[in-house]
């Protein structure tokens, strides 16, 4: 039996698995697309041929798939459900507080323990001090898997309110999106008055705002950690979180409209800085 199984080997899931291997953890990996397992198996991971095998292989299961619906699809089979009893499921996919509560109730009903997490990092940061992992769930079982989570980044335990990691994730995403939209609008205003965007970028000493302004100045939107399409999916979750919690959806609804226009204009796979093209086309 291995220490932990990683289910889902996209960019983030693979980064989680590599960070665990780097810390000499005994891990099992599974992914719908088998070819994504091979580099990790060659690096020392055990291979599960099915999702059921991945659950059977370890007492702790890390899920990092597209969203909670993808997790449900994997887990709903009878052969999978039988494996949940006595295991700890750690959800590292992105979702809302309601989805976290639903997942906890379902896993608990099947005899397992559940932690809902949020990853505040890009894949390249996993395993470093720049990655933050927010965790909500029962304290006793958190202590049992904390050493594994410590391999991934700086871990913050938020308590037993299972929706807290998801809402903090959505709140931080709202902040960054609002910041990015503000920088892009500012750059568009400057260029409309003939003020160089490089001058605008120099107004920021450091950080995401300066980086974004420089990308706009260079007019190169091909290199990105998170494309407009990825951000659009995030905004849909922020909208759902707002509607479910009773908070105002006005700002996420507005941002969602801008992102939708960008995707429809063919910018979906480009950096969020390409939103300036949507603003330019509006005039």
Output the domain CATH number for residue 23.
3.40.50.720
Q: Give the residue from 109, 133, 162 where a domain finishes.
A: 162
Work out how many domains the chain is built from and give that number: 2
Residues 155 and 67 in one domain: yes
Residue 226's CATH number: 1.10.1040.10
Per-residue pLDDT in tens (0 to 9) along the chain, 283 residues: 999 999 999 999 999 999 999 999 999 999 999 999 999 999 999 999 999 999 999 999 999 998 999 998 988 876 787 889 999 999 999 999 999 999 999 999 999 999 999 999 999 999 999 999 999 999 998 988 999 999 999 999 999 999 999 999 999 999 999 999 999 999 999 999 999 999 999 999 989 999 999 999 999 999 888 899 999 999 999 999 999 899 999 999 999 999 999 999 999 999 999 999 999 987 6
User: Which residues, other chains included, contact 181 with Cβ-Cβ below 8 Å and sequence gap of 6+?
Assistant: 255, 258, 275
The reply to whether 137 and 230 lie within a common domain is no
Residues 111 and 225 in one domain: no
Residue 143 sits in the same domain as residue 28: yes
Does 142 lie in the same domain as 19? yes
The distance from CA 179 to its chain's CA centroid, rounded to whole angstroms, is: 19
* 26, 122: one domain: yes
Among 162, 189, 219, the domain boundary falls at 162
246 and 177 share one domain: yes
Strands (E) located in 95-164: 113-120, 132-137, 154-157
Contact 263, 222 (CB under 8 A): no
Domain extent for 233: 167-281
The whole-number pLDDT of residue 78 equals: 64
Residues 133 and 200 in one domain: no
CB 57 within 8 A of CB 1: yes
């Amino acid at each position: 039996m291995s220490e932990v199984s990683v289910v889902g080997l996209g960019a983030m899931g693979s980064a989680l698995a590599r960070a665990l291997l780097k810390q000499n953890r005994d891990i099992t990996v599974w992914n719908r697309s088998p070819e994504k397992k091979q580099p990790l198996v060659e690096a020392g991971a055990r291979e599960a041929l099915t999702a059921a095998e991945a659950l059977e292989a370890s007492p702790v299961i890390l899920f990092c798939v597209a969203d909670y619906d993808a997790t449900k699809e994997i887990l709903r089979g009878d052969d999978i459900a039988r494996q949940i009893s006595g295991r700890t499921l750690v959800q590292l996919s992105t979702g809302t507080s309601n989805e976290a509560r639903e997942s906890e109730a379902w896993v608990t009903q099947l005899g397992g323990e559940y932690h809902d997490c949020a990853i505040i990092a890009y894949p390249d940061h996993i395993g470093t001090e720049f990655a933050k992992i927010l965790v909500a769930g029962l304290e006793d079982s958190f202590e049992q898997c904390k050493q594994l989570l410590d391999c991934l980044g700086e871990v913050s335990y938020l308590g037993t309110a299972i929706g807290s990691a998801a809402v903090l994730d959505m709140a931080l995403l709202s902040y960054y999106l609002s910041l990015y939209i503000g920088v892009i609008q500012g750059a568009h205003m400057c260029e409309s008055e003939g003020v160089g965007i490089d001058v605008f970028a120099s107004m920021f000493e450091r950080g995401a705002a300066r980086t974004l302004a420089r990308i706009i100045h260079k007019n190169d939107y091909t290199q990105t950690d998170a494309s407009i399409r990825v951000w659009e999916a995030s905004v849909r979750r922020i909208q759902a979180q707002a509607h479910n919690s009773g908070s105002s959806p006005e700002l996420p609804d507005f941002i969602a409209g801008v992102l939708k226009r960008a995707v429809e204009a063919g910018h979906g796979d480009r950096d969020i800085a390409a939103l300036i093209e949507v603003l330019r086309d509006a005039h």
